Amino acid sequence: MIGCDLGSNTLRIVQMDCQTKERIHVYEKIVRTGKDLHVTGLICESSKQNILNALYEASHIFDFKNERCFCVTTEAMRIASNAGEILKEIETIFGLTFQIITGEKEAYLTSLAVENALKREGFKHQTYALFDLGGGSTEFTFCKDGTKQSQSFPFGIINVAERYSLDRELHVTRIVNSIDDFMTQHDPISSNFLQLVTTAGTPTTVAAFLKGLDYAHYDATIVNGTVLHVKDFDEAYERLFAMNEEDAERYTGTNRRDLVVVGILIVKAIMKKLGFESCIVIDDGLREGVALEQCYNLNKS
- Whether a cis peptide bond, with omega within 30° of 0, leads into 154 is no
What's the chain's average pLDDT? 94
Q: Which domains does the chain have, with CATH numbers?
A: 2-102 (3.30.420.40), 104-286 (3.30.420.150)
pLDDT, tens only, 69-115: 999 999 999 999 999 999 999 999 999 999 999 999 999 999 999 99
Burial class for 245, CB neighbours closer than 10 Å (0-12, 13-18, 19+): exposed
pLDDT of 301: 62
3-state secondary structure of 281: strand
pLDDT of 273: 95
Q: In DSSP terms, which residues pair with 25 in a beta bridge?
A: 15
Give me the mean pLDDT over the 20-27 stretch. Answer: 94
pLDDT of 279: 97
Give me the mean pLDDT over the 138-154 stretch. Answer: 94
CA dihedral angle for residue 204, residue 22, residue 15, residue 198, rounded to 10 degrees: -20
**How far is the C-alpha of 290 from the C-alpha of 236, rounded, in Å?**
31
Give me the mean pLDDT over the 150-168 stretch. Answer: 92
**Are 135 and 76 within 8 A, CB to CB?**
yes
pLDDT of 38: 86
Beta strands in 87-159 (DSSP E): 98-100, 128-133, 138-144, 147-153
pLDDT of 184: 87
pLDDT of 198: 97
**How far is the C-alpha of 140 from the C-alpha of 133, rounded, in Å?**
9
pLDDT of 14 over the 70 cut: yes
pLDDT, tens only, 229-261: 999 999 999 999 899 988 898 998 877 888 999
For 23, phi then psi, to 5°, come to -80, 130
pLDDT, tens only, 209-229: 999 999 989 999 999 999 999
**Are 243 and 235 within 8 A, CB to CB?**
no
